[in-house]
């Protein structure tokens, strides 16, 4: 069953009222004329009413080149970086992009999805992610594979589902890129909402991830067959095999707060795949 | 991961005692049966989906009932056959589940508002995991013989079959019984409750399962699964045991908790996920007397109330009290039908006192959180020695013990045969009206010997049919409403004894168009002006949220000098509470609102205007409630109610008829009372 009313306010979905706003949003979100139809269709199917669609806090045009933060009203340091990114010497992540600012409404939606466990919201969030792909990345997206920030097995059992994996699968299906489980969590960290402080979080995330046993990238699997136990290939047939281009991995998460989780994942990936790979990350909220 | 074992118990001599059981810890069952009777336990298999285990139990029991009549004995051959049957049934359920998943995805893709990514899951080959366990053990009463001891050894490998602390269980069982008395909780909620109340229980599953075997605890899967077949095809049916929803309201998912196909209920999701693999424990209140109340804590039933009843109120309150005190077996429901402003809350006091004095607990359920918060201190003042708690979604007192519980509707789902008296306030209001989920929850919260009291100004027809016209007045055609019967009492007059203001109906052609284009509607403007000039406050009710701004703009244009004092409010208005408060404080004198203010808000010296009374949201009950906002206080018993409609409608007429009928009844009653005196 899909939700037939606005996910944010429970209101009625009035196609007529939405039309104008959908067009306006689609224009501002599509990077080129070629992506307009796709973005338009995605927005049109988004289960939010006209008012809530208009109120969605999309991140503006000016962003931090590295972390995707909205730079409106922020100090821009050198090279178009924000003040957090400018201090970091080397980052394993090529860049991060997010679609929305994390406000109160977003918070309640995410908690409805993650903690209450309303899995029907997955389609809403994955549509947002797809819009973000079309907004920030080349079309058609040239990723070798999509992977997710893993949950610790205990947490997964407790929660019953991996929210990010649901999103990644839907996204992978939408843009035709296979989703793989490449990482696993080795440390059971505190719930994000219960951790305090940026430094503490960075510390707790260090070495929290490891390369998943038996996980193999699709392109390499033809060369070194076997050990495909944990690989979940979805739509693997149309994944582009690029000989000249480096591996491009897309990391998916729901929220980018300080980025320590994503950076930790990226450095694990980089340690395993070598320095030629490019790792991008995409989140809904920033 | 929780696992559940399915086994068959057969008596050593009597064939009729063949029965199938589901257990989370087999050792508990073994020792339980050991204490009681000699029997043979045949283990069939195990799974982590409780719904699957229950559905298999059902099917195996059915099979045994049919087959054993001929064969007379549960031989090993039959057991092997049953194991095969279970495997087959699991495969069948798997197939049906897979089909249901694809069916739903197809339908979702067709639905206009569905997401573009409905086919999100890859169906695994088998949705359900079932592990056949071939094991048989004989249990002999009161003595541990070699074989059953061997059984322990064999099963000590399985974590679910191990028994941890045998000795500590007795104590923790009694603590647990006290804490969970009269509650219906999901497994996770039990853990939360124990954690909140600081109780430590070693092996919760074992302790609870002992309760199940002893018949004190009922357990069910959060979502039940079954297979129905008709002539054409078999179909998987899902049913939420907690809230009673079924079909598409239950979302199919691959669950990482039980690592197989699962389903959760989206209707009662706000109360925690009710899933196929989550046990739902129902613990009926052990006795009608309040458990956990130490002697010497005073009398909770002591009523400290200095107010006085009018003659009518006294009559109604006494009727209700007698119903609560009465021990008629069949009569467990009672309706207090009192018009708006009759003083319903005060009527309850004698009934509540009656229930408390017989040692029971009382629940007052009301639709809205603000009413809960307002009511709790009021009740506490009247019953100073009773423990009163307010229970709503965010309340910290949720898990506490109490004499009087005042709860919002959904919280009632967490109780099971707990209360000697359950009062349902505003029985006709959203969310109760026509909501089987909540009525079901309510009926379940009542103790076996308990009573259910409905309170309403405009009881819905199904309540009226059931409770009002059942006695002498079988002839429904007669206009006269019975004032009282064994199952209801009608209070037609207000506490101050003055009649209800009767609404005036005006039909204005093209009303909405005129308002939208700001063309004058003199009847409307004049009525508002008259009220405002007389220093009265005005409610303006509109049918839809979109109309709020339209009507507000119209009125502000018509009366620019007063536009500062006007405001509009609707359900999803972020400033809703502030605006209503400002209206109460007379900061605003006119409030344009949707039906959200139709009940609960009492403002002295106010008038009511309904713009677009023909709209279907305004049914008879709603209009009577709206008219009931007016003239409620002692110093202002009259007021004007105006229904403006664009075309003639039935509901407005019916509402006026109901109000005048109540007034007539009240008048007649007053005359009769005067004659008696």
Q: Which residues of B touch A118 (CB under 8 A)?
A: 266, 269
Q: Is the CB of residue B401 less than 8 Å away from at least one CB of chain A?
A: no
Are the beta carbons of B257 and A158 separated by less than 8 Å? yes
Residue A253: predicted pLDDT: 92
Rounded-to-integer distance, Cα A116 and Cα A137, Å: 32
Contact between A100 and A107 under an 8 Å Cβ cutoff? The reply is no
Among the ranges given (A133-137, B122-126, B377-381, B506-510), the one the predictor scored with the smallest mean pLDDT? B122-126
**Domains defined for chain A, CATH in brackets:** 1-56 (no CATH), 100-285 (3.40.50)
What are the strands, taking DSSP E only, across B377-522? 388-391, 404-408, 419-424, 446-456, 484-485, 488-491, 504-507
Which residue of A124, A156, A170 is in closest CB contact with B256? A156
DSSP codes joined into one string, B167-208: TTHHHHHHHHHHHHTTEEEEHHHHHHHHHHTT---S-HHHHH
The domain limits of chain B are 4-283, 311-491, 504-670
Among the ranges given (A106-120, B81-95, B123-137), the one the predictor scored with the smallest mean pLDDT? B123-137
Cα dist. A30→A33, A36, A49, B113, B257 in Å?
Answer: 7, 5, 20, 22, 40
User: Over 70: is that where the pLDDT of B160 sits?
Assistant: no
Tokens at residue B292, please?
């956990």
Cα dist. B302→A279, B294, B353, B480 in Å?
Answer: 71, 16, 7, 38
Q: Is B675 exposed, middle or buried (0-12, 13-18, 19+ CB in 10 A)?
A: exposed
Q: Which residues of B touch A53 (CB under 8 A)?
A: none
Q: Which residues of A touch B111 (CB under 8 A)?
A: 2, 4
Q: Which residues of B touch A117 (CB under 8 A)?
A: 264, 269, 273
Q: Which residues of B touch A158 (CB under 8 A)?
A: 257
What is the fold of B311-491? Rossmann fold (3.40.50)
Are the beta carbons of B257 and A160 separated by less than 8 Å? yes
Per-residue pLDDT, averaged over B389-407, amounts to 86
Among the ranges given (B145-149, B251-255, B333-337, B591-595), the one the predictor scored with the smallest mean pLDDT? B145-149
Residue B148: predicted pLDDT: 44
User: Over 60: is that where the pLDDT of A239 sits?
Assistant: no
* Residue in A with minimal Cα distance to B545: A11
Residue A197 φ/ψ region, left for φ over 0, alpha for ψ in the -120 to 50 degree band, beta for the rest: left
User: Over 50: is that where the pLDDT of B162 sits?
Assistant: no
Residue B477: predicted pLDDT: 41
Which residue of A9, A159, A174 is in closest CB contact with B116? A174
What are B175-180's contacts with CB under 8 Å, separation 24+? B175/B199, B175/B201, B176/B201, B176/B204, B176/B207, B176/B208, B176/B211, B177/B211, B177/B216, B177/B283, B177/B286, B178/B291, B178/B292, B180/B281, B180/B283
What is the tens place of the pLDDT at every residue in B310-367? 888 888 888 889 888 887 666 788 999 888 888 888 888 999 998 898 888 999 998 8
What Rg, from alpha-carbon coordinates, does chain B have?
A: 30
Q: Which residues of B touch A42 (CB under 8 A)?
A: 116
Among the ranges given (A121-130, B38-47, B344-353, B568-577), the one the predictor scored with the smallest mean pLDDT? B568-577
Apex A227 CA angle, A226 and A233, nearest 5: 95
Q: Which residues of B touch A1 (CB under 8 A)?
A: 104, 108, 248-249, 251, 266
Tokens at residue B77, please?
């051959």
Same CATH topology for B311-491 and B504-670: the answer is yes
Nearest chain A CA: its distance from B611 CA (Å):
22
Residue B621: predicted pLDDT: 87
Residue A87: predicted pLDDT: 80
- Mean pLDDT for all residues in chain B: 82
Rounded-to-integer distance, Cα B148 and Cα B156, Å: 12
Chain centroid to CA A222: how far?
28
Residue B538 pLDDT class (50, 70, 90 cuts): very high
Q: Which residues of A touch B (CB under 8 A)?
A: 1-4, 9-11, 13, 41-42, 45, 47, 116-120, 122-124, 126-127, 130, 156-162, 166, 169-171, 173-174, 232, 234
Among the ranges given (B13-22, B106-115, B218-227, B414-423), the one the predictor scored with the smallest mean pLDDT? B106-115
Nearest chain A CA: its distance from B408 CA (Å):
19
Q: Is the pLDDT higher at B515 or at A90?
A: B515
pTM to 2 decimal places: 0.80
User: Over 80: is that where the pLDDT of B623 sits?
Assistant: yes
Task: Identify which of B535, B537, B48 has the alpha carbon closest to the alpha carbon of residue B277.
Answer: B48
Rounded-to-integer distance, Cα B181 and Cα B194, Å: 13
What is the tens place of the pLDDT at every residue in B291-300? 445 444 567 7
Strand partners, B143: none
What ipTM, to 2 d.p.? 0.80
Per-residue pLDDT, averaged over B560-587, amounts to 87
Which residue of A47, A159, A169 is in closest CB contact with B120? A169
Residue B17 pLDDT class (50, 70, 90 cuts): confident
Which range scores top for mean pLDDT: A96-100, B64-68, B155-159?
A96-100
Contact between A18 and A53 under an 8 Å Cβ cutoff? The reply is yes
Are the beta carbons of A1 and B108 separated by less than 8 Å? yes
Task: Identify which of B500, B495, B493 has the alpha carbon closest to the alpha carbon of residue B639.
Answer: B500
Residue B158: predicted pLDDT: 42
From the candidates B115, B252, B264, B546, which should be mutated to test the interface with A, based on the most A CB atoms within 10 A?
B115
Rounded-to-integer distance, Cα B362 and Cα B290, Å: 10
Residue B210 pLDDT class (50, 70, 90 cuts): confident
What is the tens place of the pLDDT at every residue in B62-112? 888 887 766 567 778 888 888 999 999 999 899 899 888 888 888 877 654
Which range scores top for mean pLDDT: A35-49, B289-303, B461-475, B597-611?
A35-49
User: Over 90: is that where the pLDDT of B435 sits?
Assistant: no
Nearest chain B CA: its distance from A12 CA (Å):
11
Strand partners, A107: none
Residue B155: predicted pLDDT: 43
What Rg, from alpha-carbon coordinates, does chain A have?
A: 19
DSSP codes joined into one string, B202-230: S-HHHHHHHHHHTTSEEEEESEEEEEEE-
DSSP codes joined into one string, B522-534: HHHHHHHHHHHHT
Residue B405 pLDDT class (50, 70, 90 cuts): very high
**Percent of chain A predicted with pLDDT > 90:** 19
Which residue of A123, A157, A160 is in closest CB contact with B117? A123
Rounded-to-integer distance, Cα B406 and Cα B390, Å: 5
Tokens at residue B663, please?
């007034």
Residue A62: predicted pLDDT: 86
Residue A244: predicted pLDDT: 55
User: Over 60: is that where the pLDDT of B676 sits?
Assistant: no
* Residue in B with minimal Cα distance to A169: B120
Per-residue pLDDT, averaged over B270-297, amounts to 72
Q: Is the CB of residue B264 less than 8 Å away from at least one CB of chain A?
A: yes
User: Over 60: is that where the pLDDT of A222 sits?
Assistant: no
Interface of B with A in 488-507 (CB under 8 A): none
**Percent of chain A predicted with pLDDT > 70:** 84
CB burial of B645-655 (b: ≥16 within 10 Å; e: otherwise) equals: bbeebebbeeb
Contact between B363 and B409 under an 8 Å Cβ cutoff? The reply is no
Which residue of A9, A124, A157 is in closest CB contact with B257? A157
Are the beta carbons of B121 and A117 separated by less than 8 Å? no
Apex A10 CA angle, A7 and A13, nearest 5: 80
Q: Is the pLDDT higher at B44 or at B145?
A: B44
Are the beta carbons of A1 and B249 separated by less than 8 Å? yes
User: Over 90: is that where the pLDDT of B287 sits?
Assistant: no
Are the beta carbons of A122 and B120 separated by less than 8 Å? yes
From the candidates A160, A166, A170, which should be mutated to test the interface with B, based on the most B CB atoms within 10 A?
A160
Q: Which residues of A touch B257 (CB under 8 A)?
A: 157-160
Chain centroid to CA A15: how far?
28
Rounded-to-integer distance, Cα B91 and Cα A205, Å: 43
Tokens at residue B366, please?
């009301």
Chain centroid to CA A221: how far?
25
Contact between B222 and B275 under an 8 Å Cβ cutoff? The reply is yes
Residue A237: predicted pLDDT: 39
Q: Is the CB of residue B311 less than 8 Å away from at least one CB of chain A?
A: no
Per-residue pLDDT, averaged over A241-251, amounts to 70
Give the three-state DSSP class for B461.
Answer: helix
Residue A141: predicted pLDDT: 64
Q: Which residues of A touch B249 (CB under 8 A)?
A: 1
Which residue of A2, A117, A232 is in closest CB contact with B115? A2
Q: Which helix (H) or strand (E) holds A31?
A: none
Contact between B666 and B493 under an 8 Å Cβ cutoff? The reply is yes
Rounded-to-integer distance, Cα B78 and Cα B88, Å: 15
User: Over 70: is that where the pLDDT of A232 sits?
Assistant: no
CATH of B504-670, one of 3.40.50.2300, 3.40.50.300, 3.30.565.10, 3.40.50.150: 3.40.50.300
DSSP A58: B
User: Over 50: is that where the pLDDT of A50 sits?
Assistant: yes
Are the beta carbons of A234 and B273 separated by less than 8 Å? no
């Amino acid at each position: 069953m899909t939700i037939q009313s606005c996910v944010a306010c429970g209101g009625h979905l009035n196609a007529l009222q939405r039309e104008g706003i959908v067009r306006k949003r689609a224009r501002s979100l599509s990077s080129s004329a070629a992506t307009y139809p796709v973005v338009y269709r995605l927005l049109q199917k988004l289960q939010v009413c006209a008012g809530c669609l208009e109120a969605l806090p999309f991140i503006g045009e000016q962003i931090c080149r590295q972390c995707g933060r909205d730079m409106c009203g922020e100090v821009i340091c050198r090279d178009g970086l924000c003040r957090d990114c400018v201090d970091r010497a080397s980052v394993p992540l090529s860049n991060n992009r997010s679609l929305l600012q994390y406000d109160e409404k977003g918070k309640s939606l995410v908690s409805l999805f993650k903690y209450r466990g309303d899995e029907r919201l997955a389609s809403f969030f994955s549509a947002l992610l797809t819009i973000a792909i079309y907004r920030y990345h080349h079309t058609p997206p040239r990723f070798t594979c999509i992977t997710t920030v893993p949950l610790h097995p205990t947490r997964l059992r407790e929660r019953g589902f991996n929210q990010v994996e649901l999103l990644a699968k839907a996204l992978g299906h939408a843009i035709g890129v296979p989703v793989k489980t490449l990482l696993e969590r080795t440390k059971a960290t505190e719930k994000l909402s219960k951790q305090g402080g940026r430094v503490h979080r960075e510390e707790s995330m260090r070495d929290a991830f490891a390369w998943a046993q038996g996980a193999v990238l699709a392109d390499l699997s033809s060369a070194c067959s076997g050990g495909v136990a944990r690989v979940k290939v979805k739509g693997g047939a149309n994944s582009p095999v690029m000989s000249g281009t480096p591996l491009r991995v897309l990391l998916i998460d729901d929220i980018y707060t300080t980025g320590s989780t994503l950076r930790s994942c990226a450095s694990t990936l980089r340690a395993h795949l070598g320095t030629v790979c490019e790792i991008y990350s995409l989140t809904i909220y920033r | 991961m929780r696992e559940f074992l399915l086994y068959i118990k057969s008596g050593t001599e009597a064939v009729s005692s063949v029965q199938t059981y589901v257990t989370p810890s087999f050792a508990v069952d073994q020792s339980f049966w050991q204490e009681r009777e000699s029997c043979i336990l045949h283990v069939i298999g195990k799974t982590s989906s409780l719904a699957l285990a229950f559905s298999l139990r059902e099917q195996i029991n059915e099979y045994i009932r049919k087959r054993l009549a001929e064969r007379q004995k549960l031989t090993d051959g039959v057991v092997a056959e049953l194991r095969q049957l279970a495997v087959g049934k699991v495969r069948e359920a798997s197939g049906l589940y897979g089909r249901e998943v694809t069916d739903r995805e197809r339908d979702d893709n067709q639905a206009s508002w569905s997401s573009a990514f409905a086919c999100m899951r890859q169906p695994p080959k088998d949705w359900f995991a079932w592990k056949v366990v071939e094991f048989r053990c004989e249990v002999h009463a009161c003595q541990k013989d070699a074989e059953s001891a061997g059984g322990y050894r064999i099963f000590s490998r399985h974590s679910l079959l191990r028994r941890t602390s045998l000795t500590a269980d007795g104590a923790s069982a009694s603590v647990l019984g006290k804490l969970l008395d009269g509650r219906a909780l999901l497994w996770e909620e039990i853990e939360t409750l124990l954690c909140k109340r600081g109780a430590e229980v070693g092996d919760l599953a074992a302790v609870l399962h002992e309760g199940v075997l002893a018949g004190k605890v009922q357990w069910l899967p959060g979502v039940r699964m079954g297979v129905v077949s008709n002539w054409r095809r078999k179909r998987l049916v899902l049913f939420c045991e907690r809230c009673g929803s079924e079909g598409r309201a239950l979302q199919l998912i691959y669950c990482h908790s039980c690592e197989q196909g699962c389903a959760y209920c989206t209707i009662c999701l706000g109360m925690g996920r009710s899933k196929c693999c989550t046990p739902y424990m129902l613990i009926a209140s052990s006795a009608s007397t309040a458990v956990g109340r130490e002697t010497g804590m005073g009398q909770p039933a002591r009523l400290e109330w200095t107010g006085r009843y009018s003659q009518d109120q006294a009559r109604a309150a006494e009727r209700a009290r007698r119903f609560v005190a009465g021990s008629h077996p069949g009569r467990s429901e009672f309706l207090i039908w009192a018009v708006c402003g009759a003083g319903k809350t005060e009527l309850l006091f004698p009934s509540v006192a009656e229930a408390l004095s017989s040692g029971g607990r009382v629940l007052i359920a009301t639709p809205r959180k603000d009413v809960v918060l307002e009511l709790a201190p009021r009740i506490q003042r009247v019953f100073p020695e009773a423990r009163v708690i307010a229970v709503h979604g965010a309340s910290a007192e949720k898990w506490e013990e109490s004499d009087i519980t005042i709860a919002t509707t959904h919280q009632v789902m967490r109780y099971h045969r707990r209360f000697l008296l359950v009062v349902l306030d505003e029985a006709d209001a959203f969310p109760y009206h026509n909501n089987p989920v909540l009525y079901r929850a309510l009926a379940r919260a009542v103790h076996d010997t308990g009573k259910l009291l409905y309170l309403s100004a405009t009881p819905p027809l199904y309540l009226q049919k059931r409770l009002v016209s059942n006695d002498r007045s079988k002839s429904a055609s007669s206009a006269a409403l019975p004032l009282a019967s064994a199952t209801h009492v009608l209070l037609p007059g207000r506490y101050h004894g003055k009649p209800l203001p009767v609404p005036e109906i005006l039909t204005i052609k093209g009303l909405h168009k005129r308002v939208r284009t700001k063309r004058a509607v003199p009847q409307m403007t004049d009525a508002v002006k008259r009220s405002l000039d007389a220093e009265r406050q005005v409610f303006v009710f509109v049918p839809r949220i979109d109309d709020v701004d339209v009507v507000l703009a119209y009125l502000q244009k018509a009366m620019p000098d007063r536009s500062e004092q006007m405001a509009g409010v609707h359900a999803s208005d972020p400033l809703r509470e502030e605006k209503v408060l400002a209206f109460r404080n007379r900061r605003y004198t006119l409030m344009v609102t949707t039906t959200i203010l139709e009940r609960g808000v009492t403002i002295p010296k106010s008038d009511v205007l309904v713009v677009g009374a023909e709209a279907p949201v305004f049914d008879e009950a709603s209009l009577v409630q709206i008219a009931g906002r007016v003239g409620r206080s002692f110093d202002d018993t009259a007021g004007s109610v105006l229904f403006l409609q664009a075309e003639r409608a039935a509901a407005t007429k019916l509402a006026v008829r109901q109000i005048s009928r109540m007034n007539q009844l009240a008048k007649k009653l007053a005359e009769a009372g005067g004659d008696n005196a």
